[in-house]
């Protein structure tokens, strides 16, 4: 297992470098350092001196990829790509270009509001969706299954924006049960996160339940299930003791995409509910053309996704003894 983890860590390095290079290229195709300077200076007409001063202060007064004036290792180190992208591997995120705030401190402060929403949504949602999908499969071919599928399709057909706006209007405006937006400190935070959690659970209900139902239906047609029924096992033991356990691998594979969101937050949800998490932090950075924050969040998202994939592979050995690392 140690050798496997070492290989995965070595594979991650070129992947992260490639993601950084692609993000770097896409950003500077749209905006040159001069465009960034004009954007951050906040005026339509600025002097060339002001632009050069801003570029010098933020490290954009050197070539983007190659420095023809340098030789050897300096040919690459004295470039914007090396200074601003590769240093992310040391977790030196620098400062935001829009307001000068320390990005690392902002991430550490904002990750907790994001986790306070994403973690309950992940745990409660996974348990609820899997349980409901198992019930539908248990009553497959009946009105319960048909009604559940119709409910899932109807839930999938409604935009997440509708759930957000409807939840804010009904729960916040009409019933006055929770605040519409904002965030609190300590235990007072639950009043602000309960509505976003409920909206996130309802908006994902249809899609995730149908996905898990498909996994379970695929397992029910396999030989081991027919053998278990032939031995006289009751249906509930077949479903929960055999079908659920063997369907855990695709469930775990699907759940890994949630890992980055647990830390990085939901872009839309946090923006609409005014939650000072990493999702709204990213949205604000995109709007302000703050490349320092954008490249940091892309890097962290890629890193967390790789970590999630590795943890998922390790969990396969727990749910399926046939899986081995060689």
Q: What pTM was computed for the model? A: 0.85
CB 148 within 8 A of CB 132: yes
- How far is residue 60's CA from residue 84's CA, in Å, rounded to a whole number? 9
Residue 57: predicted pLDDT? 85
Residue 258: predicted pLDDT? 78
Residue 182's Cα: distance from chain center in Å? Answer: 21
CB 197 within 8 A of CB 204: no
Phi, psi of 173 (to 5 degrees): -80, -50
Residue 201: predicted pLDDT? 94
Average pLDDT for runs of 10 along the chain of length 326: 82 88 82 82 75 85 71 65 81 86 93 92 93 93 94 93 93 92 86 94 93 93 89 88 86 78 81 91 86 90 87 77 67
| Domain with residues 103-319, CATH architecture | Orthogonal Bundle (1.10)
Angle separating helix axes 33-41 and 48-58, nearest 10 degrees: 100
Nearest to 169 by CA among 181, 182, 152, 157: 181
Where are the chain's structural domains?
103-319
- H helical segments located in the chain: 2-30, 33-41, 48-58, 74-77, 80-84, 103-138, 143-157, 160-167, 190-220, 223-230, 235-238, 244-246, 248-255, 259-264, 267-272, 278-287, 291-319
DSSP 95: B
Residue 143: predicted pLDDT? 95
């Amino acid at each position: 297992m140690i050798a496997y983890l070492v290989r995965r860590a070595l594979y991650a390095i070129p992947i992260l470098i490639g993601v950084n290079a692609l993000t770097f290229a896409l950003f500077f195709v749209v905006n040159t350092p001069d465009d960034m300077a004009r954007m951050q200076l906040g005026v339509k007409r600025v002097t060339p001196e002001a632009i050069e001063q801003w570029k010098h202060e933020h490290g954009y007064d050197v070539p983007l990829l190659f420095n023809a004036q340098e030789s050897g290792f300096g040919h690459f180190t004295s470039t914007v790509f090396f200074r601003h992208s590769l240093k992310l591997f040391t977790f030196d995120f620098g400062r935001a270009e829009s307001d000068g705030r320390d990005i690392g401190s902002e991430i550490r402060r904002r990750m907790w509001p994001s986790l306070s929403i994403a973690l309950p949504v992940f745990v409660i949602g996974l348990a609820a969706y899997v349980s409901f999908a198992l019930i539908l499969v248990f009553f497959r071919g009946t009105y319960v299954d048909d009604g559940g599928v119709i409910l899932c399709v109807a839930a999938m057909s409604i935009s997440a924006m509708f759930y957000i706006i409807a939840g804010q209007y009904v729960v916040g405006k009409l019933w006055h049960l929770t605040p519409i937006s904002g965030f609190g400190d300590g235990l007072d935070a639950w009043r602000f996160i309960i509505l976003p959690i409920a909206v996130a659970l309802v908006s994902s209900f249809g899609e995730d339940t149908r996905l898990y139902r498909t996994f379970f239906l695929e397992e029910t047609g396999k030989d081991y299930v027919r053998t278990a029924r032939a031995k006289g096992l009751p249906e509930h033991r077949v479903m929960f003791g055999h079908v659920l356990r063997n369907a855990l691998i695709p469930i775990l594979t699907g759940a890994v995409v949630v890992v980055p969101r647990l830390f990085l937050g939901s872009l839309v949800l946090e923006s609409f509910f005014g939650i000072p998490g990493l999702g709204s932090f990213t949205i604000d950075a995109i709007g302000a053309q703050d490349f320092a924050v954008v490249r940091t969040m892309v890097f962290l998202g890629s890193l967390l996704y790789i970590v999630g994939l590795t943890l998922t592979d390790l969990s396969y050995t727990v749910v399926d003894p046939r899986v081995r690392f060689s």
